[in-house]
Amino acid sequence: MQRRDFLKMSATMSAAAVVTGCGSESAQTPPPEVLPVEEKLNWSACLVNCGSNCPVRVYSRDGVITRIETDFYDNDEYGQHQIRACLRGRSLRKRVYAPDRLKYPMKRIGARGEGKFERISWDEAFSHVASELSRLRGQYGPESTHFTYNSGAGYHFTGKQCLFRLMNIMGGYMGTYGDYSWAQLYKAAQYTYGSASYGWKGSSNSEMTNSDFVLLVGHNPSEIRMSGSGESYDYLKIIQAKQADRAQNGGKFKTVIIDPRYTDSALGKEDQWVPVRPGTDAALMEALAYEIINNNWHDQGFLDTYCQGFDENTMPEGYGYEHSYKAHILGDAADGVAKTPEWAAPICGVPADTIRILAKEFAEASAPFVHIAASLSRQAAGENNTRACYMLPLLVGAVGRAGTNNGALCSGASLSSPKMPTLGNLSKVNKKISFFSWTQAIEDGENMTVLKDGVVLPGDELDENGDGKLGTNIKAIINYAGNALINQHADTSKTREILRDDSKCELIVVIDNWMTPSAEYADIILPDISWLEAEDDLINQSYAAGDTASLIQISSSVGPMWECRDAYDIALGLARAWGVEGQFTEGKTKDQWRTEFYESAQAGTQRFANPLPSKQEMMSKGVYRQYLPDGSYVVLKDFRDNPTGNPLGTPSGKIEIFSSELQKMADTWELAAGDVITALPKYVPTWDGFEVNDNIDGEQEKADKYPLQLHGYHTKGRAHSSYHNVPWLREAVQDAVWMNPMDAAERGLSSDDMVQVFNDRGVIELPVKVTPRIMTGVTALGQGAWLKFNSDASVDVGGCLNTLTSQRPTPVSKGNGQHTNRVEIRKA
């Protein structure tokens, strides 16, 4: 029976029930049949920053969303499979209609952070924001305006690009480099391979099919990329097929997962789980390297031809064998310590025999595929952790060949889909700070320097030493679809104190859908539309979409709701207030922009046998897909095939195991006590790490007081902090701190006990999950829960990990080490 026929029958039966009620003694004339309004179907997408972007089918009636379904077609063959949304995408109706939805422009009326606002009109909002931004930018320069990191809405047309465009028209804003996910990964790739893109554009997932040894270091696709358009499905299908082939035909294939937690990416899909202490991956990798080099399992020819810094024959001028990677590993360097499995075992927690066997199996593989997670780069020495992991494929020459990967995040398939041009060429601001340094720049930006704080300045502002000051504090913040103003930034208590003082940062504008913890610190709140209200046109798959590329045709029958406006209309309103509407729109209407973007995307698919159809057809079809549109990609293949004709972007043109650029930074930068920059990838004890760094005052006392390591992970119930306000997902995925049974018994704890997790930065209260799926001495908490303090603001009962994390930046990228924390846990 068709759904509409069922609805019609139900309506008829309901009408009959009314007229035949009990007690009637006379015949009654039935009223005319009233049928429900037919549901409308629109395609939309889940545009949260999980790396995927999945299509959803939005059903509505009379402008109200009635249900959400996902992509389902009769044909579900892998390669042309259904791009099914995960549990987050399927809960979108709850998210759109959440009780804390922002509906009208509002202005702060109490102290900043109190959460007291009054409703204002859009005209009032535009007038106030335009006036205040003009005042502050005129007084302190355009670089006093800052966009905090944002990733909560991945629009192509009506999103943050519109705001960047407007601010560039008006002279620019303080630029940033890096982000909370990949800051140290970018730098590790840049100084090893010559480009940051080599850290997140590795080989295609499909190359695992050609591998006989898959090594995942912290990579967890089954929880963070778990949809039909994410890497999880590729990983699952490939691993299952390889294991089935091994069972039926014999042969050699193994999957090893290195992670402190036994994640959902394991659960029988792996052949071996190797738990390692957070932040000590570099020590494990050095011990594996020792076994490979000491047993002559390394590929000397590859290292001689393609790499700088392995031994005395490949060192740059002025450096000898004692400075080489080989000398460092074998104990011939200045420290005199051979990086044996016995040396590494007490540091990383992996038995020496396990290290020896793993090294031998890896070296014997003909095509090992190494995938290093971005989580390693969120440690206090994440740059070195990541670079040390790069050494595994390099030592055995397993790059640029079928079935291999350089350690980077796998490349996602992609199709061309234009975004609103931001007109960065109009900006008068050439200064940049690390994305993580904005709280420091609010308080002391005028004194931040290149060599001390990693500030990027144009050459004419540098002195003879290559140093110079930023010269300006941040005075205005625009926060679009980003909860990093409070929740996702480190040390929430410290951040709150900085933002409460409105004489420092004088204007905070928040554009969002919900009253997030960050929105509570706004001076002006501007309500954005949600994805299901958007007419954003074509959306491309995101950066981690796996091997299937797709374009999604977004439309809506339900919005905008209340007085919400999209970022294009918000930027347009400000442009009118500033008198630059013509420059912003270039004389085009929204529909003209969309038509132009669609035609451009369509042109990009003409190379296929089935190019992108007309927009009218896509409105009903919803999804256009291509499996591996450019074939299976092998990273560094061009360089491997012809290193002279295709040199890398490093100073030497080669893969730099010894980085001349890092050595220069080590010689010139001003570093905090305990921080080091090393030309070679090395294990380095850090602040708050497992192994106490004696060069930092108070570290031993801290280790004694807080004996447990705490690291964060991405939970299935959120994408960063997005979706936390959906009750369904809080029921489906428990927010609890993981603890090994031995650690729990020592503290008298059982599963579901309410506990307090604490250190010198704060206290959070939540349940404990006692499980053998995490190693001893280590605890883990899903990041992204919304900050929520108890009545006296002494305990965060929301469970926000960043109540406990540090704002101390890492040495090279000046990034976030938010997975490096020492804590203690007690029963609440």
Residue range 621-655, pLDDT digits in tens: 999 999 999 999 999 999 999 999 999 999 999 99
Query: In 3-state terms, what secondary structure has residue 144?
Result: helix
pLDDT exceeds 70 at position 520:
yes
Burial class (CB in 10 A: 0-12, 13-18, 19+), 673: exposed
Provide the percentage of residues in the chain whose pLDDT is more than 70. Answer: 96
pLDDT exceeds 80 at position 29:
no
Nearest to 282 by CA among 380, 157, 183: 380
Provide the percentage of residues in the chain whose pLDDT is more than 90. Answer: 86
pLDDT exceeds 80 at position 17:
no
Query: In 3-state terms, what secondary structure has residue 485?
Result: helix
- Rounded to whole angstroms, the Cα distance separating 818 from 773 reads 22
Beta-bridged to residue 432, according to DSSP, are 175, 456
Site of tokens 């941040």: 474
Identity of the amino acid at 281: D
Query: In 3-state terms, what secondary structure has residue 244?
Result: helix
- Rounded to whole angstroms, the Cα distance separating 569 from 289 reads 56
Dig out the tokens for 328 from the structure. 């460092």
Dig out the tokens for 499 from the structure. 């933002």
Instruction: Report, as an integer, the average pLDDT of 261-272.
Output: 92
**Measured distance between the N- and C-terminal CA atoms of the chain, rounded to whole angstroms:** 55
Are 439 and 494 in contact, with CB atoms under 8 Å apart? yes
For residue 464, CA distances in Å to 45, 460, 461, 639 come to: 52, 10, 10, 36
Domains by residue range for the chain, with CATH: 1-36 (no CATH), 99-131+138-175+429-529+564-581 (3.40.50.740), 197-412+635-665 (3.40.228.10), 706-827 (2.40.40.20)
Are 178 and 815 in contact, with CB atoms under 8 Å apart? yes
Instruction: Report, as an integer, the average pLDDT of 248-257.
Output: 93
Q: DSSP for 555-596? A: --SS-S-TT---HHHHHHHHHHHHT-HHHHHTT--HHHHHHH
Beta-bridged to residue 763, according to DSSP, are 758
* pLDDT at residue 80, as a whole number: 85
The 10 Å Cβ neighbour count of residue 32 is: 7
Dig out the tokens for 507 from the structure. 């204007």
For the chain, what is the mean pLDDT?
Answer: 93
Are 284 and 775 in contact, with CB atoms under 8 Å apart? no
Give Cβ neighbours of residue 305 (< 8 Å, ≥ 6 apart): 643
Are 723 and 784 in contact, with CB atoms under 8 Å apart? no
Identity of the amino acid at 634: V
Are 714 and 708 in contact, with CB atoms under 8 Å apart? no
Residue 702 banded pLDDT, cuts 50, 70, 90: very high
Residue-wise pLDDT tens digits, 309-347? 999 999 999 999 999 999 999 999 999 999 999 999 999
Are 488 and 803 in contact, with CB atoms under 8 Å apart? no
* pLDDT at residue 34, as a whole number: 58
Residue-wise pLDDT tens digits, 84-98? 999 999 999 999 999
Residue-wise pLDDT tens digits, 220-232? 988 888 887 788 8
Residue 715 banded pLDDT, cuts 50, 70, 90: very high
How crowded is the C-beta side of 557, counted as CA atoms within 13 Å?
18
Residue-wise pLDDT tens digits, 557-602? 998 999 999 999 999 999 999 999 999 999 999 999 999 999 999 9
Instruction: Report, as an integer, the average pLDDT of 48-74.
Output: 90
* pLDDT at residue 31, as a whole number: 60
Site of tokens 């460092």: 328
- Rounded to whole angstroms, the Cα distance separating 474 from 564 reads 28
pLDDT exceeds 80 at position 620:
yes
Dig out the tokens for 143 from the structure. 């670089």
Query: In 3-state terms, what secondary structure has residue 669?
Result: coil
In terms of pLDDT, which residue wins out, 501 or 539? 501
Are 391 and 681 in contact, with CB atoms under 8 Å apart? yes
Nearest to 713 by CA among 150, 154, 237, 264: 264
pLDDT exceeds 90 at position 763:
yes
- Rounded to whole angstroms, the Cα distance separating 194 from 265 reads 31
Residue 19 banded pLDDT, cuts 50, 70, 90: very low
Are 754 and 818 in contact, with CB atoms under 8 Å apart? no
* pLDDT at residue 27, as a whole number: 44
* pLDDT at residue 267, as a whole number: 87
Residue-wise pLDDT tens digits, 238-251? 999 999 999 999 88
Query: In 3-state terms, what secondary structure has residue 165?
Result: helix
